[in-house]
Amino acid sequence: MKLTLRSSVLALLCMSFVIGAGSAAAQNYPTRSIRVIVPFAPGGATDAVLRMLAPRLSENLGQQVVVDNRPGGASTIGMDIVAKSAPDGYTLGVANLSFGVNPSLLSKMPYNTEKDFAPVSLITIVPLVLSVHPSVPAKSVKELIALAKAKPGSLNYSSSGNASATQMATEQFKYMTGIDIVHVPYTGGGPALIAVLSGQVSVYFGGIPSLLPHFKSGRLVGLGVTTAKRDPAIPEIPTIAEAGVPGYESREWQGIVVPTGTPGAVIKRLHQEFVKALAAPELKERFAVVGAHAVGSTPEEFAAHIKKEIATMGRVVKEAGIRIE
């Protein structure tokens, strides 16, 4: 009996020590550099947003914040690294629309989207723009639809990967207009953008941050914005809904997640610093110029957002009959 009691006391003391050590680690967080995994190749909207944020976060947290691009697998390769990383706040993941699409699109997932991640904050909303190479004989949404219907399967479009926002926006457009254009997936927004700039593909639904310079130079033609309202960065481009497809709306989003089990104090600190960074006037101005809109939600609000996206994207996948090529 005495031995059992002594063992129980020792176990409780050990547990208290572990919890105390964990709390102390959370209070001192961070003590080294932090890695933010972007599950896409460099050059796309998600990558651009995080690279704008990283310097400000480094300053706020007192440790270097490093952007680590891990493309492939419809974003599952990078997010799997996050899911299986130590839950200590030193490996963060950037979730976006593909994070909400994958559960309904992929038959096998290396992780459980709803159980293996803890939300930190929804950081930005990024409208997309339907754009075409200047060689395409269509200068409006209606003209593009007419061209695609006259020549089914003759046009193709690039995306930043299967299950990406760029694919989902295009497939929703195809479904709502009844057109047939061929999907050519790439490993990220950068390669997908290069494909349309070079004329290898005709159509690309991309984020404003990466497309804006090419609209100004004339290397791409913007036909319609995917959100319900025109974007202040490109007010001359109409929404797709007002340009001929009533009810159409889509957009990219980015948010920060960490592995499940990350201490609440660490999540709280990360949330505070992301919100603080997003509120910086100069950063908000940079976002506004390129079309990314800062949010900075609470972890609870971001959790609700993810849940809603999973349900919404599930319906789009089913109704549009989307399949992974």
Each residue of 262-319: pLDDT tens digit?
A: 999 999 999 999 999 999 988 888 887 667 889 999 999 999 999 988 998 888 888 7
- Together in a domain, 60 and 118: yes
Residue 212's pLDDT is 87
Strand partners, 126: 252
Among positive and negative, which fits the CA dihedral 294, 296, 43, 200? negative
Instruction: Say what the pLDDT of residue 138 is.
Output: 97
Q: 199: closest CA among 140, 139, 155, 251? A: 155
Residue 27 lies in a domain: no
Asked if residue 139 and residue 112 are part of one domain, the reply reads: no
Strand order in the sheet with 203-207: 182-185, 156-159, 203-207, 128-132, 221-225
CATH, residue 133: 3.40.190.10
pLDDT at res. 3 = 45
Assign 2 a pLDDT band (cuts: 50, 70, 90).
very low
Q: Are residues 261 and 308 in the same domain?
A: yes
Residue 43 has pLDDT above 80, yes or no: no
How confident is the model over 7-17, as pLDDT tens digits?
A: 554 555 555 44
Tell me, yes or no, whether 119 and 202 share the same domain: no
pLDDT of residue 10: 53
The answer to whether residues 119 and 139 belong to one domain is: no
Nearest to 139 by CA among 201, 220, 241, 212: 220
Question: Are residue 198 and residue 159 in the same domain, yes or no?
Answer: yes
CATH of the domain at 43: 3.40.190.150
pLDDT at 278: 94
pLDDT in tens, 79-130: 999 999 999 999 999 999 889 999 998 989 999 999 999 999 999 998 999 9
Please tell me whether residues 140 and 180 are part of one structural domain. yes
Domain end (from 207, 225, 243): 225
Query: HSE (CB half, 13 Å, CA atoms) of 11?
Result: 6
Query: How many domains are there within the chain?
Result: 2
3-state helix, strand, coil in the chain (%, to 5): 45, 20, 35
Quote the domain boundaries for residue 219: 128-225
**Average pLDDT over every residue of 16-21:** 48
Q: What is the mean pLDDT of the chain?
A: 89
What is the pLDDT at residue 21?
A: 45
Highest mean pLDDT out of 127-131, 157-161, 210-214: 127-131
Please indicate, yes or no, whether residues 141 and 90 belong to a single structural domain of this protein: no
Asked if pLDDT for residue 321 goes beyond 90, the answer is no
Q: Output b/e per residue, 120-135; b: 16+ Cβ within 10 A.
A: bbbbbbbbbbbbbbee
Q: How far apart are CA 273 and CA 278, in angstroms?
A: 8
pTM for the whole structure: 0.76
Specify the pLDDT at position 322. 79
